[in-house]
Amino acid sequence: MRKLMGLLLIIGIFFIAGCSNFPKPESTVTDFIEAGKKFDLTKMATMVNPSNASKVTDVMKDGKDSKDQYQKYFLDYLKENATKITYSVKGSKIENDKATVTVDVKYLNGGPLLKATIGDVFSKAFSLAFTGVTMKDEDMNQMFISAMQKQKETVKDSFVEKTIDVKLAKANNKWYIDEPSDDLLNVFTSNFVSVGKEINNSMNPSSSNANPQSTTATEKAKKDNMTIIPKNIGDEIQFATLKLKINRVEEKQTINAKYSSPKTAKEGAKFVIVNADLINTTNKAFTMSPNLIIVDNKDREFKTYSDAIGAIDDYLDCKELSPSIKETGNWVYELPTDATSYKLISGKSGTNELYEILLK
């Protein structure tokens, strides 16, 4: 009996040791993030399901072997930001050969910088187009670098704090990240994956400005018990970093700037032009990147019109605001013609307040 018990004890010890040495999904996620902080794309790819490994390298390889100066500058920016990533693995759920690891991450949000840079480049390129100047690729590259360097001086660094669920699959006794989600890739690309898709969609005439999320901002505000503060045209509103006053609202079928061709609203749609005053109430300049959404009488949500840059004068998106100096300009939205009433909504950072400005 003693020999049997001893044998069982030895087997148990080996079983426990074997289980403890078996790789865990948390380890794969940790190794993946640590490799990402070093921007080691090769190592990251080895921890992804082989059929999806290219998603990592395809998204982040631009500039790695490129001779283009602006791509190298861009890559260096991402590498520097990656070193600032912090994270905490919260736990995992394992079901057969599938697992989900939950991670709290904090990373630098480069979205406002990229939008401001592209807005600056588009504005300069648009102006040069009317002077007859032909821009070479190297000229555009240098323009991009200069614009990004300029915007880095004014666009304040901000961080995204998010909880991410990472999906994994087990193969050959090893856990692989099944398919890196946009949320995960955003961590290493400073949110550029999502922003890039947003910009790409904005350049696609067939894309819709309507918010595809099933929960509207108004519904979310009610769910979060936010204090809804009604306002009207002409009311001055103090937000965390600026004062806002809506001066007037117009509806048009066609818009145009002084040096551009007219743009016509799509069939069944209309343009809503919102004229406003903005005053930066901080001590430093920053670039306006609004989160102002229009909600119509059918609870449909709309972001600013994607092709408005160069299509209307005094456009406020990506506008640089100097401290205490009033800027007057326009936002453009494209709404369905059956939107009979609508309001502009925006939350006040650091508070539980949601402002609803009745436009019509």
C-beta of residue 271 within 8 angstroms of C-beta of residue 251: yes
**Partner residues linked to 106 by β-bridges:** 86, 161
* Cα first-last separation, the chain: 88
Q: Residue 344: its pLDDT value, please?
A: 92
Q: Residue 202: its pLDDT value, please?
A: 56
Q: What is the residue type of 344?
A: L
Of residues 20, 159, 33, the one with CA closest to residue 88: 33
Residue 155, judged by CB atoms within 10 A of its CB (0-12, 13-18, 19+), counts as: buried
Q: Residue 68: its pLDDT value, please?
A: 62
Q: Residue 290: its pLDDT value, please?
A: 57
Buried/exposed 308-346: b ≥16 CB within 10 Å, e otherwise: bbbbbeebbbbbbbeeeeebebbbbbbbbeebeebbbbb
- DSSP labels for 118-158? HHHHHHHHHHHHTTTPPPPHHHHHHHHHHHHHHHHHHSPP-
C-alpha 45: how far from chain center:
24
Delineate the domains of the chain, giving CATH numbers in brackets: 19-110+158-202 (3.10.450.100), 217-358 (2.60.40.1240)
Q: Low-confidence residues of the chain, pLDDT below 50?
A: 1-21, 62-65, 130-131, 204-213
Cα separation, 327 vs 248, in Å, equals 15
Cα separation, 317 vs 308, in Å, equals 9
* All residues at 6 or more sequence positions from 68 whose CB lies less than 8 Å from its CB, including other chains: 137, 141
Q: What is the residue type of 331?
A: W
Q: Residue 14: its pLDDT value, please?
A: 37
Distances (CA, A) of 285 to 19, 59, 154, 246: 57, 32, 6, 21
Q: What is the pLDDT of residues 209-238, one digit of tens each?
A: 444 445 666 677 777 778 889 999 999 999
Q: Residue 210: its pLDDT value, please?
A: 44
Q: Residue 82: its pLDDT value, please?
A: 92
Q: Residue 354: its pLDDT value, please?
A: 85
Q: Residue 205: its pLDDT value, please?
A: 44
Q: What is the pLDDT of residues 144-176, one digit of tens each?
A: 888 888 888 888 888 889 899 999 999 888 899
Q: Residue 22: its pLDDT value, please?
A: 57
**Partner residues linked to 339 by β-bridges:** none
Distances (CA, A) of 126 to 104, 115, 202, 266, 306: 42, 16, 17, 23, 16
Cα separation, 160 vs 189, in Å, equals 12
Q: Residue 86: its pLDDT value, please?
A: 94
Can you list the alpha helix ranges (DSSP code H) found in the chain? 2-21, 25-37, 41-46, 54-60, 69-82, 111-129, 137-154, 182-188, 192-202, 217-223
